[in-house]
Amino acid sequence: MQLTWKDNHGSNEETRRYRSGFIPDENYGGMLTINHNDLLVNDSVLVINPDNYIRFERGRTEINKLNVALGHQQIKLNGYVPLNENDTLVAKFNEWDLSNFDLITKG
pLDDT per residue over 47-94, tens digit each? 888 889 998 887 888 999 999 998 899 999 999 998 888 899 999 999
Q: Compute CA distances 25 → 19, 47, 56, 57, 58, whole Å.
A: 20, 28, 9, 9, 10
For the segment 30-51, what is each residue's pLDDT rounded down to a tens digit?
A: 888 877 667 777 777 888 888 8
CA 48 – CA 50 distance, rounded (Å): 6
Output the CA torsion sign for 80, 68, 73, 18. Answer: negative
Domain count, the chain: 1
Q: Are 69 and 47 in contact (CB under 8 A)?
A: yes
Taking the whole predicted model, whether its pTM rises above 0.75 is answered as no
CA 17 – CA 21 distance, rounded (Å): 13
Domain hosting residue 60, numbered range: 2-105
